[in-house]
Structure 1
């Protein structure tokens, strides 16, 4: 458990830029320690990428939809004497998800791990026992990561130098390829696709990702895949409510325009409607935007050339679709791996082009949760990973809508487009407009070896002493649980600064 310093001295004024999970987590912890915390959000609702919108009786989660690493949520709520069970209903999905392959057959991934091992054995002789070993290895990495690594601020490599970590370095496989690691256990293309999908959707090409991240397979396949009833918006609301109970003030529709500095410290935060004194600031909005749009040139640490050289996790093309009938064959989570995994990854990370034959993901939460769609209707969230910084005019979006719907209807064995009563798209330019997202990224920086831990953008500004960062462009990385952890670390660092 990360130690939070006790209160010391007078209440300080702390501004948090951005009301995503990282910003809300940081704000709640700092307010609990007795400080005046104001969270400033440019959009009109909280949640960041976990915003929601409702229309025609449908409620859509606009971003996160996978609930993995449940212990991270529980650990955060425990700081405030609460538990997940107190706050929202968490449903374990069974099957956890389905994977659709080229023969149009769907493989359901059971919630029971022994059933999953049996499934692997049916697909590839010996794969059942190999999965047990693969997941045991992932669990080891998960436990060491959660206990010894992920809650560190990443200031220096010395944070990770301990006798325990040194002895475990080889087993953590920080310098081994995820792709090679997976292929030591499995040969069948279907099993490899199942094992590698979290890397494609949330990171980088498997060959460029450290084998450390098999810890994600442990979380998804052994801990389980869950769903918060009401959607991820309910989780975001819970973080807001806890922060408010601790005294955090939220100001939505209030974009920050400038951080006024002197003598190497932020003195005032200037927004569209006010000026606020600040003893410390946490920037949980886009890191590059904060440095380049809110700070004067002498206060910026990372130049444009730095960001141009980073490897970003994918952006994505999203469709939010309301359908006036039920779709029998869909599960809650559906991964369409009916095309070439390697080609799509290459077009995202190397060729930076619109994909030729994309993989995609369909979330149908109305399978589990009747509250997100009118009775007899279906709520669909379709996501196609793409390269960052692509042009995304309406004709391109429509082209891929038709392409994806062709394949979805083929799998479902029924017409869907004729029953669509609500349709909205979201893509690169929307990420830029709504979140000031660097290159229109959806998930932050990829978890490559050259962008792990101390090699990520610094959580503490090297030039502005009371400016700290949180979120998916700094430690520990992309995803909701890492964002919660990032906000926790940033709050801890602010408290150390204030108490020094």
Structure 2
């Protein structure tokens, strides 16, 4: 590893997980770091909303890739065990199907899931074993050669483990995920279970590269976890570690421009505080950890944009969402911690979201989280905490909080859950309700096109084809978060923070950075 450079005055724009993680890593490496967050609370998409004794996560709710969290915390001299109280979910999730077909419970172990697949389709158990073996192999190669690489150099890809798999990797990149699952399984329910991870990537099983079948290794083999207290605990832990490392965090501080010198190197960041007063922070290094479209098209002059508006006009946005946070009286044993509701005509669902003219699917394939199934701190005694996510097109015109259209979409989703899960009195038991729509993602997160996730993981926006994490026109300007490499999701954002540090160190290797000795070692 290259020797660290001298300390730098560094400004981070954005207080989501990518920004906080970048701040913590850079401060630990000796930078003098100030983080600017436009909202009053940190977390970005991983937000928290509290009302009447309920604590709702308003963003990510699946804890996958635990080894990525483990590695990140060890880079900061601590551990996941020390920072979080994790529980493995069993079942990992429950799947409901349109038409009253029996629900499927995806278990916590590989063996149980193989048996489940066999019970649905004769021979599917053995085929799932082969599918998961391929998923595991692809995941390990991706983790070692793709996810932790900045693509500043492609030498790391010219390794035997990549070159020997090149025909397979090329085929996986060029084949849609839905095509691959169809080669293994006939039953549409099993194909939906294996295709749904594309949604985690802001994409569709009909367009996401089948390389992403690696995701099935995570939920069907590794298992699904949950941090007690909710996902806000992850943000709180990283914030605490960042502050301990010396990061100065300013909330209600809205960045208005990235400033440069005559050599087109960053010179500072202009921002406005909560009182409307203008300020300037000098900087030698700037990390843009908010929405990349906003950073490039609003905070930089046109001549210094690596990703100008023309780039975004050709890009594919991930879906937006209508989010419904519900407090419900009484228990809801019909629902697991995670429940998925799949419509029969999936292709139509995804076409409505991604193809022009777009429209809201009806009925929609929706996701429901019931964290109170595993955590008695997120709802008052005798009540349940529900979070419903309805995927919709990335279109702010659908509306936001208070919009009649958003409320109609939420009403339909509540009715669908009640009908499919057999909870006829669900609507009458709701005591707390709050909706979020695409316009809210724009207002609160500066989200491009109102997308809930970021640029979709289609082929031309995946791996080395995704937006790079460094400006091609401004020296000292790098990027973190879901808009850039390696992509969408909390683990990916933690890796993106490590890639920021790699850029600073001049480290071009593809593997995770060495971990410091554990405390007390």
Tell me which interval the TM-score lies in, with the shorter structure as reference length: over 0.9
Look up the SS of the partner of 1:44 in the other structure.
Answer: coil
Cα distance, 1:8–1:407 mapped onto 2, change above 3 Å? closer
CA contact (8 A) 1:472 1:478 kept: yes
Give the aligned partner of residue 265 of structure 1: 265
2:273 aligned with 1:276, yes or no? no
2:459 is matched with 449
Equivalent residues in 2 for 1:71-220, closer than 5 Å: 71-104=67-100, 105-155=102-152, 157=154, 159-172=156-169, 173-220=172-219
Give distance in 2, aligned partners of 1:467 and 1:77: 25
State the Cα RMSD in Å: 1.5
- 1:489 alignment partner, SS class: helix
| Contact 2:207 2:458 (C-alpha < 8 Å) held by counterparts | yes
1:426 paired residue number:
436
Once residues 88 and 77 of structure 1 are traced to their aligned partners in structure 2, the CA distance between those partners, rounded to angstroms, is 10
Checking the alignment, whether the CA contact within 8 Å between 1:340 and 1:357 is kept in structure 2 is no
Aligned: 1:392 with 2:398: yes
Paired with 1:201 and 1:151, the residues of 2 have a C-alpha distance of: 19
Distance in 2 between residues matched to 1:494 and 1:47, nearest whole Å:
24
Give the C-alpha shift of residue 112 in structure 1: 1.9
363, 373, 380: which one pairs with 1:367? 373
1:379 is aligned, of 382, 385, 392, to 385
Secondary structure at the aligned position of 1:182 is classed as helix
Superposed, 1:263-342 pairs within 5 Å as: 263-273=263-273, 274-342=279-347
- Once residues 415 and 71 of structure 2 are traced to their aligned partners in structure 1, the CA distance between those partners, rounded to angstroms, is 43
Structure 1 CA distance for aligned equivalents of residues 382 and 3 of structure 2 = 53
SS in 2 for 1:207: coil
Structure 2 length-normalised TM: 0.92
TM-score when normalising by structure 1: 0.96
Unpaired stretches in structure 2, ≥5 consecutive residues? 274-278, 508-521
Deviation at 1:7, TM superposition (A): 2.9
CA distance in 2, matches of 1:54, 1:495: 40
Structure 1, residues 130-156: CA drift from partner, whole Å, max 9, x if none? 111101100001111111111111346
CA distance in 2, matches of 1:339, 1:177: 19
Counterparts of 2:156 and 2:470, CA distance in 1:
15
Moved more, 71-80 or 445-454: 445-454
Shift of 1:181: 1.2
Task: Answer yes or no: is the 8 Å Cα contact 1:6–1:33 preserved in 2.
Answer: no
On the 8 A contact 1:16/1:281 being kept in 2, the answer is yes
Structure 1 gap ranges (5+): none
| 1:495 to partner: Cα distance | 3.3
Deviates more, 1:247-256 or 1:391-400: 391-400
Q: How many residues align?
A: 493
Question: Against the structure 1 CA distance between its residues 303 and 37, is the aligned structure 2 distance closer, same or farther, given a 3 Å change threshold?
Answer: same
Question: How far did residue 327 of structure 1 move?
Answer: 1.4
What does residue 250 of structure 2 align with? Answer: 251
Aligned with 2:165: secondary structure?
helix
